[in-house]
Structure 1
């Protein structure tokens, strides 16, 4: 189908919204908070690094505590576990081990642009060799029960998008059931713009769902991404962290409801979720690291909420859990521990 015709058809369909696997950001606690707010059909974990050995079950459970809950968040959103590495046989062995925990699916990381990851034979650097992508996908698919879905996430390439379609077709031929494509090359990192139009040929060529990813911060971005890519499904990353209500507004649009919510009302609604996140963080990380995690999320929220900037500023020099809790309460964040109890029970 021609790209313009595909885009027109896409505009009339709902499509799915997925939560991206953001290393060091979208961990178990934030996944729980964002999926409780709503709008997500599927989430993917931070990557589990696979090198030369078969990892114990506790490693997968640490990254994805949702495995103890039917591989779903507390809100019921399915979660796929992401593996990162370049050794096809070792990835396959770890996939088989992971399958014993009954995941909602596995995902392969061919998109991480981090230099350290790429230097150690992982992430986007593997896009230099489509044949290797095929070998990895084929080995992992063969190691998994047919009932366990296998997806992959890639970028448009390392230096340029010339071989993006070759990479996508290699992965599809290897047996993946869904492909997420971040619409930038590795070298472009996260610098705007995202090249959504370059995803259209991939969507047209593959017989599996292709998901657009990259630079979707607003409902308008979501519509433009779908129109330019011709793809129905979209994965939200930093946009969902900066605006936790984005996926819910998209869901409202998909169902024909009102998606124009007031920012001030949203900030008030967000305060209990910030409390949940704060208490969940305390249950998951060392006390000395906890203040840094809440500051990290608040810094992202400043893109959408001026109030978050004020709160972030008040926490700037805070280094202890007790001080941070006091500042949060002073700024209207309620004292809650529901998520902390959940995290502790799954830790």
Structure 2
């Protein structure tokens, strides 16, 4: 979720209270202890962190994610993050990006379970000394699934208190399908909680992922950007014994995007960059929503912010009626 899930996005997506926790974009660690400003840039919520750690404005806990391969450097930066107020750390062994993998980060470590163990052991040791929890985000492997169980066991042995498993290998990237049944195999081999992740775009996907993985909790990624009501949709369904919320209407989606643009403009971000970010978000939405698809096609060449926002606000398209429905209260399941 690099380049997408920043503090403004976390604030907007968590404000209805439907999420149990959020995760930052990864802080890239190479071989040095990073200065405090780097952590604050990735997790501005640290600036106001109290005993509960960093929180979104709606009091949703925020987990700080680290990515790297040097155990000593990661341990030093874990200590730095905890000094600044982090109470929950996540180690990224799942990023499939070629640039990250080429520089020995993310999913590249899944080729050697002993390296997963060494990283988790070093950071978990720091966490234990300072009262911070440490979790690991995994995939099912690098090129294949042969080491999926060994890597999960290594992360647990190193001291990870929870595993989040994206149900695909690095080679599979984000291509469907997600192999949720493999998460069940991992659950059978470890004793720590396991969270299912990957291709959860809808209420039906959520239930299928839970059923096949056996996990109680799921992590939402791109699906939460595609449907900002997805978490509340799931929670409402659980809390009401099966009642479904209406599809998320385009006015609710556009209002969220416009508020995001306003937050970025208020922070002094250049307008062309804001438009680029809005297009990125709208592009994720369009595969699941006719209104978003229509706006994306109409605005894909627009580079000025004012007309782009005006295009988002225009409710004259027939596509809006497809997704219109009563607004709803409620909430939903787990992380982002």
Length-normalised TM-score, structure 2:
0.88
> Which position in structure 2 is the counterpart of 1:3?
none
Cα shift at 1:104: 3.5
Question: 2:120, 2:158 within 8 Å by CA — same for their partners in 1?
Answer: yes
Query: Is 1:198 paired with 2:177?
Result: no
Supply the distance in 2 between the matched residues of 1:254 and 1:204 (Cα, whole angstroms). Answer: 25
> Which position in structure 2 is the counterpart of 1:327?
311
Query: Is 1:29 paired with 2:12?
Result: no
> Which position in structure 2 is the counterpart of 1:117?
100
Residues 164-175 of structure 1 aligned to structure 2 (within 5 Å): 164-175=148-159
Query: Residues 205, 146 of structure 1: CA spacing in aligned structure 2 closer, same or farther, 3 A cutoff?
Result: farther
Aligned match for 2:58, one of 75, 78, 81? 75
SS of 2:26's equivalent? strand
Aligned match for 1:243, one of 227, 230, 235? 227
Query: Residues 221, 189 of structure 1: CA spacing in aligned structure 2 closer, same or farther, 3 A cutoff?
Result: same
Aligned match for 2:68, one of 85, 88, 99? 85
> Which position in structure 2 is the counterpart of 1:128?
111
SS of 1:289's equivalent? helix
Question: 2:89, 2:134 within 8 Å by CA — same for their partners in 1?
Answer: yes
Query: Is 1:281 paired with 2:281?
Result: no
Residues 154-165 of structure 1 aligned to structure 2 (within 5 Å): 154-165=138-149
Cα shift at 1:324: 2.4
Query: Is 1:95 paired with 2:74?
Result: no
SS of 1:40's equivalent? coil
Deviates more, 1:154-163 or 1:28-37: 28-37
Supply the distance in 1 between the matched residues of 2:315 and 2:275 (Cα, whole angstroms). Answer: 15
Cα shift at 1:260: 1.8
Question: 1:311, 1:331 within 8 Å by CA — same for their partners in 2?
Answer: no
Supply the distance in 2 between the matched residues of 1:73 and 1:125 (Cα, whole angstroms). Answer: 31
> Which position in structure 1 is the counterpart of 2:319?
none
Supply the distance in 2 between the matched residues of 1:308 and 1:114 (Cα, whole angstroms). Answer: 27
Aligned match for 1:140, one of 114, 123, 129? 123
Aligned match for 1:54, one of 22, 28, 33? 33
RMSD of aligned residue pairs (Cα, Å):
1.7
Supply the distance in 2 between the matched residues of 1:93 and 1:312 (Cα, whole angstroms). Answer: 44
Question: 2:258, 2:309 within 8 Å by CA — same for their partners in 1?
Answer: no
Cα shift at 1:313: 2.5
Question: 1:154, 1:180 within 8 Å by CA — same for their partners in 2?
Answer: yes
Supply the distance in 1 between the matched residues of 2:98 and 2:214 (Cα, whole angstroms). Answer: 31
Query: Is 1:315 paired with 2:299?
Result: yes
Supply the distance in 1 between the matched residues of 2:254 and 2:87 (Cα, whole angstroms). Answer: 30
SS of 1:23's equivalent? coil
Query: Is 1:106 paired with 2:89?
Result: yes
Question: 1:249, 1:259 within 8 Å by CA — same for their partners in 2?
Answer: no
Unaligned runs of 5+ in 1: 1-21, 333-347
Cα shift at 1:331: 4.4
Question: 2:195, 2:217 within 8 Å by CA — same for their partners in 1?
Answer: yes
Aligned match for 2:44, one of 45, 56, 65? 65
> Which position in structure 2 is the counterpart of 1:217?
201
SS of 1:288's equivalent? helix
Unaligned runs of 5+ in 2: 317-336
Cα shift at 1:67: 1.4
Question: 1:281, 1:293 within 8 Å by CA — same for their partners in 2?
Answer: no
Length-normalised TM-score, structure 1:
0.85
Query: Residues 308, 284 of structure 1: CA spacing in aligned structure 2 closer, same or farther, 3 A cutoff?
Result: farther
